[in-house]
Amino acid sequence: MTSSASFFSLLLLSSLLFDSHLSLTSAQATPPLLAGLSYEFHSTNCPSLETTIRDYLREILSSDTGVAAGLLRVHFHDCFVQGCDGSVLLAGSASGPGQGEQQAPPNLTLRARAFVIIEELRNRIHRACGAIVSCSDIAALSARDAVFLSGGPDYRVPLGRRDGLSFATVNATLANLPFFGSRVPQLITDFAAKNLDVNDLVALSGGHTIGRGNCGSFVGRLYPTRDPTLETTFADNLTRVCPTNTSSGVTPLDVRTPNNFDNQYYVDLLNRQGLFTSDQDLFTDNTTAPIVTSFANNQTLFFERFAFSMIKMGMINVTTGTQGEIRTNCSARNAASTTYLTTDVDQQGKNAGILRLFDNVVEGLFGYI
Ligand code: HEM
Decide whether any atom of ligand 1 lies within 6 Å of the 187 Cβ.
Answer: yes
SS (H, E, C) 18-82: HHHHHHHHHHHHCCCCCCCCECCCCCCCCCCHHHHHHHHHHHHHHHCCCHHHHHHHHHHHHHHCC
Q: Where are the alpha helices (DSSP H) in 132-215?
A: 135-149, 170-176, 184-192, 198-205
User: Do the Cβ atoms of 266 and 246 come closer than 8 Å?
Assistant: no
- Whether ligand 1 lies within 6 angstroms of the CB of 153 is answered as no
Q: Which candidate in 21, 42, 75, 77 is catalytic?
A: 77
Neighbours of 361 (CB within 10 A): 10
**Domain residue ranges of the chain, discontinuous segments joined by +:** 48-211+253-314
* Cα–ligand 1 centroid distance for 147 (angstroms): 14
Measured by CA distance, the residue closest to atom 25 of ligand 1 is 205
CA distance readout (Å), 245 to 217, 221, 227, 347, 364: 10, 10, 14, 61, 84
Q: How far does the centroid of ligand 1 lie from the alpha carbon of residue 45, in Å?
A: 34
User: How many contiguous H segments (helices) and E segments (strands) does the chain have?
Assistant: 15, 2
- Closest listed residue to residue 56, CA positions, set 117, 113, 139: 117
- Specify the pLDDT at position 335: 86
Q: How many CB atoms lie within 10 A of CB 159?
A: 24
List residues bridging with 169 in a β-sheet: 100
CA of 21 to the centre of ligand 1 (A): 36
Cβ–ligand 1 distance for 70 under 6 Å, the answer yes
Tell me whether residue 2 is annotated as binding. Answer: no
Tell me the C-alpha to C-alpha distance, in Å, between residue 349 and each of 261, 310, 357: 50, 44, 12
The reply, when asked if residue 197 is annotated as ligand binding, is no
Is the CB of residue 180 below 6 angstroms from any atom belonging to ligand 1? Answer: yes
42 is catalytic: no
168 CA → ligand 1 middle, Å: 19
Q: What is the reported pTM?
A: 0.86
Q: Pick the atom of ligand 1 nearest to 206's CA.
A: 30
Distances (CA, A) of 275 to 182, 193, 257, 354: 13, 25, 14, 66
In this predicted structure, what is the pLDDT of residue 367?
Answer: 34
- Assigned CATH for 48-211+253-314: 1.10.520.10
Alpha carbon dihedral 90, 95, 97, 101, in 10-degree steps, equals -40
- Encode the chain (369 residues) as per-residue pLDDT tens digits: 334 444 334 333 333 333 333 333 444 589 999 999 999 999 999 999 999 999 999 999 999 999 999 999 999 999 999 999 999 999 976 556 668 999 999 999 999 999 999 999 999 999 999 999 999 999 999 999 999 999 999 999 999 999 999 999 999 999 999 999 999 999 999 999 999 999 999 999 999 999 999 999 999 999 999 999 999 999 999 999 999 999 999 999 999 999 999 999 999 999 999 999 999 999 999 999 999 999 999 999 999 999 999 999 999 999 999 999 999 999 999 985 444 333 333 333 333 333 333 333 333 333 332
- Asked whether residue 81 is marked as a ligand-binding residue, the answer is yes
- pLDDT for 99: 80
324 C-alpha vs ligand 1 centroid, how far in Å?
27
Asked if residue 247 belongs to a known ligand binding site, the reply is no
Closest CA to 234 of 219, 255, 220: 255
Q: What's the CA gap between 134 and 159, in Å, rounded?
A: 9
The residue whose CB lies within 8 Å of the most ligand 1 atoms, and thus the one to mutate among 253, 265, 283, 285, is 253
Length of the chain: 369
Ligand 1 atom nearest residue 216's Cα:
15
Binding site membership of 212 for ligand 1 (Cβ less than 6 Å): yes
Check if the beta carbon of residue 159 is closer than 8 Å to that of residue 38: yes
Spacing, Cα 138 to ligand 1 middle (Å): 20
- From 73, 219, 275, give the residue whose CB has the most ligand 1 atoms within 8 Å, as the site to mutate: 73
